[in-house]
Amino acid sequence: MIWGQLSLQDSNSPLMDELVWFHDFAMLPLVLISSYVLCIIYSLLSTKSSTQQAYEHHQLESIWTLMPIIILVTLAYPSLHLLYILDETHSPSMTIKVIGHQWYWSYQYSDFMNLEFDSYMLPDDDLSNGNVRLMEVDNRMVIPMMLETRVLVTAADVMHAWTIPSMGVKADAVPGRLNQLSLFPYRPGVFYGQCSEICGANHSFMPIAVEAITTSSFKNWAIKMYNENIES
């Protein structure tokens, strides 16, 4: 994502691919309808003819009743299908629990080792070359690429929202409740998000950074983090 970008972020998951496709698909009838309405308005303003004596037109009324129904049905089916697949996880390789706090995130890798850490935003003085201001954190959430990861989202105090736009996921973090989402990155890199629920004074300063790496690199990272936790 760059400043001034108007389009969606580059996709890094099959879910985001589906969202981008549905966005483009929905924009087609919107553009056509908007263009048609503008043409009608221009025609009415530029002509002097009048139809004050026309009180009914059954064919025209049928057309403007059926056309919106057809358009809505055409948009409804892919929309419902997309809502269904966004909430499904099939065979996740692991599960990560994300807990929102005021104002940072905690991550728990409890499937294969008792690995827990907090993730705070890096202040400007600690940024390195290439880091994104107000988006970089001290501990990124690391996941393996080309494998499905289930993420359980909750909160410890107030409502938050865990969001990664490039992966097409957004889940409310509600105290006392677990919400589920699925991640399947198909290319390596660091992908950023932010809390999308106004949660207090520092709501704008609890970014999310997810790093997708290869499976072998992920194993080495997990062992390193586990050893550091034991030493501390």
Tokens of 66: 């059926």
The DSSP code for 10 is P
The residues that bridge with 183 in the sheet, in sequence order, are 149
Three-state secondary-structure class, residue 198 = coil
Q: Angle at CA 42, nearest 5°, toward 38 and 43?
A: 115
DSSP labels for 80-123?
HHHHHHHT--SS-SEEEEEEEETTEEEEEE-SSS-EEEEE-BPP
Report whether 154 contacts 123 (CB < 8 A): no
pLDDT tens digits in sequence order for the chain, 232 residues long: 666 777 788 888 888 988 889 998 999 989 999 999 999 888 888 877 766 666 777 888 888 889 889 989 988 988 888 888 887 777 888 899 999 999 999 999 887 777 888 999 998 888 888 888 888 998 899 999 998 999 999 999 999 999 999 998 999 999 999 999 999 999 999 999 999 999 889 999 999 999 999 988 888 888 888 787 776 6
- 76 class by beta-carbon count within 10 Å (0-12 exposed, 13-18 middle, 19+ buried): exposed
**Beta-strand (E) ranges in the chain?**
94-101, 104-109, 115-119, 141-144, 149-155, 160-164, 169-173, 179-183, 189-194, 207-213
Ordered domains of the chain (ranges, CATH): 14-46+57-87 (no CATH), 94-231 (2.60.40.420)
pTM higher than 0.85 = no
The residues that bridge with 193 in the sheet, in sequence order, are 208
Tokens of 220: 């080495």
